[in-house]
Amino acid sequence: MELSLWQTRSAEYSRGLSIGNRTNSSIEVIINTPSTDDFTPATDIQYNWYKDINNDGIANGTLEATTNDTSYTFTGLDQNITYEFYATALDTSGNESAPSDIVSSTVGIDAPAPNEVGV
């Protein structure tokens, strides 16, 4: 049995992540350009949200959540630690895209301005 293109092609990865609201223990990450593919309606695409503290610009973080939303708030973060964030997209067949661009930010009272451009 041959697999159709629908079953073998993953959603295009998301680009243009940015940092939204921050508190002393949370950071919101927003996808500015949501993923698409030729077969999956945008409302059916899910996103895997990853967090990393290695700050190496490599997408090797820990999966935090899977949602249908184009933004996610990471909670329970430690103050004055810089975190890297990225997302992948999942189509209805479960195919996962390549990682998005990586953005970084620090939580805390004196946290620096967020990095609005991917690494």
pTM here? 0.77
> What is the model's pLDDT at position 107?
87
Domain with 100, as residue range(s), is 5-106
| Among 49, 113, 55, residue whose Cα is nearest residue 82 | 55
Q: Is the residue at 115 inside a domain?
A: no
Q: Is the residue at 113 inside a domain?
A: no
CATH number for the domain harbouring residue 102: 2.60.40.10
pLDDT, tens digit only, all 119 positions of the chain: 333 333 344 445 556 789 999 999 999 999 887 665 555 556 678 899 999 998 888 888 999 999 999 899 999 999 889 999 999 988 888 888 889 889 999 986 554 555 544 54
> What is the model's pLDDT at position 98?
86
| Among 92, 110, 102, 95, residue whose Cα is nearest residue 29 | 102
> What is the model's pLDDT at position 1?
31
